[in-house]
Amino acid sequence: MPKHSRVFRRFLVSYIIILIIPSIAGYMSYQTSISVTQSLAIENSVTQIQKSQEILERRMAEVEGFTRQMAINQDLGILMNEVNSSDKTNVYGIWKMMKDVLTFGQTNDFLQHFFIYLTNYNVVLTPGSAYYRPEHYYDSFHYKDLSFDQWKKEVLESTHRSEIMPLSEFVNKGTETSVVTYMQSLPLDSFSKASPAIVVVIIDQKTITSLLSGLTERYGGWARIADAQDRTIGLQGIEEDEVKELVSDKRYDMGKVSQFYGDDLVITLTSNTNDWVYQAGIPRKVLLENANKIKSITFTVTGLALFVGLFVGFLLSYRNSAPMDRLVGIMKEQFGHENTSDRNEYDFLHGNISEMLNHNKRLESQLHEQQPLIRDAFLKRLIAGDFQLREELVAAAVQSHAGLNGSTGYVGIIQINGYSSGMESIEILNELSVARLLLKQSLMDTGSPIPMTDIWSDKIVFVFAFHEADMAKQLGREEIANTLKHISELAFQEYRISITVALGDFFASELEISQSFEQAKQTLEYALHTNKKELVWFDETRMDSATYYYPLDVETRLIRTVRAGEMEAAIRIFQSIIDQNTVHRELSVEMKHQWIGEMKGTFLKLLNQKAFQESELFEPVKNQIIDIEESSAIEQIQEQLNEVMVTLCSLITSKKNDGHAKLVDSIKVYIKESYADSELTLYRVAEQVGRPWKYISQIFKEVTGINLSEYLEKVRMENAEILLRESDLTMEEISEKVGYSSSHSFRRAFKRVTGVPPSSYRQSAEG
Other C-beta atoms within 10 Å of 742: how many?
Answer: 14
Give residue 767's pLDDT band: very low, low, confident or very high (50, 70, 90): low
CATH of domain 220-287: 3.40.1840
Is the pLDDT reported for residue 422 higher than 60? no
Give residue 461's pLDDT band: very low, low, confident or very high (50, 70, 90): very high
- Three-state DSSP at 289 gives helix
Q: What pLDDT is stored for residue 411 in this prediction?
A: 92
User: Which of these ranges, 94-103, 540-549, 671-680, 721-730, has the smallest mean pLDDT?
Assistant: 540-549
Q: What pLDDT is stored for residue 753 in this prediction?
A: 86
Q: What pLDDT is stored for residue 412 in this prediction?
A: 92
What b/e readout covers 456-467, taking b as 16+ CB neighbours within 10 angstroms?
A: ebbbbbbbbbbe
User: Which of these ranges, 188-197, 232-241, 300-309, 738-747, has the smallest mean pLDDT?
Assistant: 188-197
d(CA 512, CA 383): 9
Question: What sign for the dihedral angle of Cα 205, 211, 212, 217?
Answer: positive
Other C-beta atoms within 10 Å of 405: how many?
Answer: 14
Residue 96: φ, ψ to 5° = -65, -40
SS (H, E, C) 750-764: HHHHHCCCHHHHHHH
Instruction: Give mean pLDDT, residues 68-96.
Output: 76
Instruction: Give mean pLDDT, residues 114-119.
Output: 86
Instruction: Give mean pLDDT, residues 450-477.
Output: 82
Summarised one tens digit per residue, pLDDT across range 274-325 is 788 888 888 877 777 777 777 788 788 888 888 888 888 888 877 777 777 7
- Highest mean pLDDT pick, 73-82, 398-407, 539-548, 737-746: 737-746
Q: What pLDDT is stored for residue 342 in this prediction?
A: 56
Of 617 and 545, the one with more pLDDT: 617
Is the pLDDT reported for residue 2 higher than 60? no
Say if CB 402 and CB 511 are below 8 A apart: no
DSSP assignment of 634-666: HHHHHHHHHHHHHHHHHHHHHHHHHHHHHHHHH
Summarised one tens digit per residue, pLDDT across range 206-222 is 887 777 776 666 777 78
Is the pLDDT reported for residue 602 higher than 60? yes
Instruction: Give mean pLDDT, residues 377-403.
Output: 79
Instruction: Give mean pLDDT, residues 575-598.
Output: 83
Q: Where are the domains of the chain?
A: 72-210, 220-287, 369-633, 675-766
Give residue 334's pLDDT band: very low, low, confident or very high (50, 70, 90): low
**Hey, which CATH number is domain 72-210, 3.30.1230, 1.10.3470, 1.10.287, 3.30.450?**
3.30.450
Q: Pairing state of beta strands 499-503 and 534-537?
A: parallel
Instruction: Give mean pLDDT, residues 695-705.
Output: 84
169 - beta bridge partners?
178
Q: What pLDDT is stored for residue 1 in this prediction?
A: 42
Instruction: Give mean pLDDT, residues 427-432.
Output: 84
Give residue 3's pLDDT band: very low, low, confident or very high (50, 70, 90): very low
Give residue 421's pLDDT band: very low, low, confident or very high (50, 70, 90): low
Residue 155 DSSP one-character state: I
Q: What pLDDT is stored for residue 413 in this prediction?
A: 92
Q: Cα angle at 607 between 604 and 612, to 5 degrees? A: 160
User: Which of these ranges, 16-20, 328-332, 350-354, 533-537, has the smallest mean pLDDT?
Assistant: 328-332
Q: What pLDDT is stored for residue 214 in this prediction?
A: 67
Question: What sign for the dihedral angle of Cα 609, 613, 619, 620?
Answer: negative
Range 369-633 has CATH code 3.40.50.970 = no
Is the pLDDT reported for residue 193 higher than 70? no
- Highest mean pLDDT pick, 91-95, 198-202, 319-323: 198-202
Instruction: Give mean pLDDT, residues 417-421.
Output: 72
Q: What pLDDT is stored for residue 15 in this prediction?
A: 79
Q: CATH topology for 675-766?
A: Arc Repressor Mutant, subunit A (1.10.10)
Q: What pLDDT is stored for residue 518 in this prediction?
A: 85
Averaged pLDDT score across all residues of the chain? 81
Give residue 341's pLDDT band: very low, low, confident or very high (50, 70, 90): low
